[in-house]
Amino acid sequence: MELRDVIGPLFKLISEQMGMHRGTITLLNRSNGEIYIEEAYGLSESQLHRGRYKIGEGITGKVVETGKPMVIPRLSEEPLFLDRTGARKNIEKSNISFICIPIQVGDTTIGALSVDRLFEENVSLDEDVRLLQIIGSLIASAVRLRRSALEEKRHLLEENSRLLEQIKDKFQPKNIIGNSRAMQDVYALVAHVAKSETNVLIRGESGTGKELIANAIHFNSLRAQKPFVKVNCGALPESVIESELFGHERGAFTGAVSTRKGRFELAEGGTIFLDEIGDITPATQIKLLRVLQEKEFERVGGMQTIKVNVRVIAATNRNLEEMISENKFREDLYYRINVFPIHIPPLRERKTDILLLADYFVKKYAKSNNKDIKRISTPTIDMLMAYHWPGNVRELENCIERAVILSVDDVLHSHHLPPSLQTAEASRTRPSSNLNEALDNFEKELILEALKATRGNMAKAARNLGITERIMGLRVKKLDINPRRFR
């Protein structure tokens, strides 16, 4: 389906059969009427980009306009020849013959095939014209196939856009990255509970993003314009957690030099997020239960009962059911906070989100470190996808930050990742490794990078690596590489 894969061998054939010095395939852009060079032989990149014509302009434009071939025995005798590319600027044009034939699909001219060769008195160009017309028909078939594929792709993109338009109102928190099925289920639960007044218990391993879910619930609720107060219960010492939650009166204890409002008072009308609720003491659990049941409390050292209107969102990574059986967590409090549970899946259960998160963190830390990271290498991607991520998203973020800082060539390589992510193969630390295996590992990474850069085109990858296509095929087979994964 790649036109270049067809044209390359054809130009080689033309060069061998006709002694071609230069050749071009030009195609007509139907949207703007411009004729541009799609592929060329014997032209530099800058010359290739200069080769642009309008319909009827120069020999190429005239051939596309009329659909008839033109044969110029001596270029010096043809005023229509523009040499727009500049490839023949320092060449004696009287020694060059030029042939240009139309490329047609049915009755429509879609481009032109042109070649130039040395002029010879005793050589007829008619045979060359016939050969080029045959080759032109082959190119036309390839173009027709490509157009059909592009039209099908355009149809699929339009269908995709239509479907996206239909589901654009489907809820997905803007502060959370992830499109996996597991996260879609979480988004659906958040959408259901956000507009209600129900208490929510968010459960999941450390680093899964429980606080982000709490943010999403609050800022999509009817309380979004009111305060959102966060309390990390696990980070507060036992001696101060009650004062932090409910406040204290002046003189209630040593150091209480003034009256202070607690987090529940500060959250009046809004939401309070109790992170790591499984770490609070039994005494605090009793007071928290009263707030949830009666919507009232007293400050530490105070006698006045304070009424509050606060929605509670709690989060924990601990097994509360097990703690209840061990009498470490009150069962009645558990049922008060567990009205609407939401489980956040660990990162290892939503592998499809890893690259989305990695891309986000790369942009984030590249910007903060004044770097321009252009891509993540294939071995690095493989290592990210293979790792089990016990620290979840937080661990992934730290790994990407480290890799961005270590990068010196605008690419994240596998050796930039921490040792905990390194595999025996990637780090070449297998006990049974020898020189041949080490060379194979290095060769495999080079071939993978070349195939990624050429979208799985083995011929082009072989040229970039400076090896033949035959050797490339043998190495790909030996190293068990599947080029199709890059297309």
In the prediction, which pLDDT does 426 show? 56
In the prediction, which pLDDT does 163 show? 67
Residue 168 — pLDDT band, cuts 50, 70, 90? very low
Assess whether pLDDT exceeds 90 at residue 214.
yes
Name the pTM for this structure: 0.54
- Per-residue pLDDT reduced to its tens digit, 271-294: 999 999 999 988 889 999 999 999
352 DSSP 8-state letter: G
Q: Where are the beta strands (DSSP E) in 365-410?
A: 375-376
Q: Angle at CA 113, nearest 5°, toward 111 and 119?
A: 150
Percent of the chain at pLDDT exceeding 90: 35
Side-chain-facing half-sphere of 457: CA atoms under 13 Å: 15
Which range scores top for mean pLDDT: 81-85, 173-177, 272-276? 272-276
Residue 197 — pLDDT band, cuts 50, 70, 90? very high
Cα separations in angstroms, 258 against 247, 254, 265, 305, 308: 11, 11, 16, 18, 21
Two tokens, residue 307: 């009424």
Cα separations in angstroms, 225 against 169, 222, 231, 262: 22, 8, 19, 20
- How many other β-carbons are positioned within 10 Å of the β-carbon of residue 38? 18
Assess whether pLDDT exceeds 90 at residue 309.
yes
Assess whether pLDDT exceeds 60 at residue 1.
no
Assess whether pLDDT exceeds 60 at residue 80.
yes
Give the chain's mean pLDDT.
86
Instruction: Specify which residues 135 forms β-bridges with.
Output: none
In the prediction, which pLDDT does 424 show? 54
Two tokens, residue 197: 């007044």
- Per-residue pLDDT reduced to its tens digit, 414-446: 888 888 787 655 555 555 556 777 788 888 888
* Of 125-129, 130-134, 162-166, 189-193, minimum mean pLDDT range: 162-166
* Of 45-54, 303-312, 351-360, 391-400, minimum mean pLDDT range: 45-54
- Per-residue pLDDT reduced to its tens digit, 215-248: 999 988 999 899 999 999 888 887 788 888 998 8
Assess whether pLDDT exceeds 80 at residue 160.
no
Positive or negative, the Cα torsion across 331, 333, 335, 341?
Answer: negative
Assess whether pLDDT exceeds 90 at residue 324.
yes
Residue 164 — pLDDT band, cuts 50, 70, 90? low
Torsion of the alpha carbons at 272, 273, 275 and 278, rounded to the nearest 10: 60
Assess whether pLDDT exceeds 60 at residue 339.
yes
Q: Where are the beta strands (DSSP E) in 17-69?
A: 22-29, 34-41, 52-54
Across the range 178-198, mean pLDDT stands at: 90
Query: How far is residue 299's CA from residue 278's CA, in Å, rounded to a whole number?
Result: 22
Question: For the chain, which domains are there?
Answer: 3-157 (3.30.450.40), 181-343 (3.40.50.300), 351-486 (1.10.8.60)
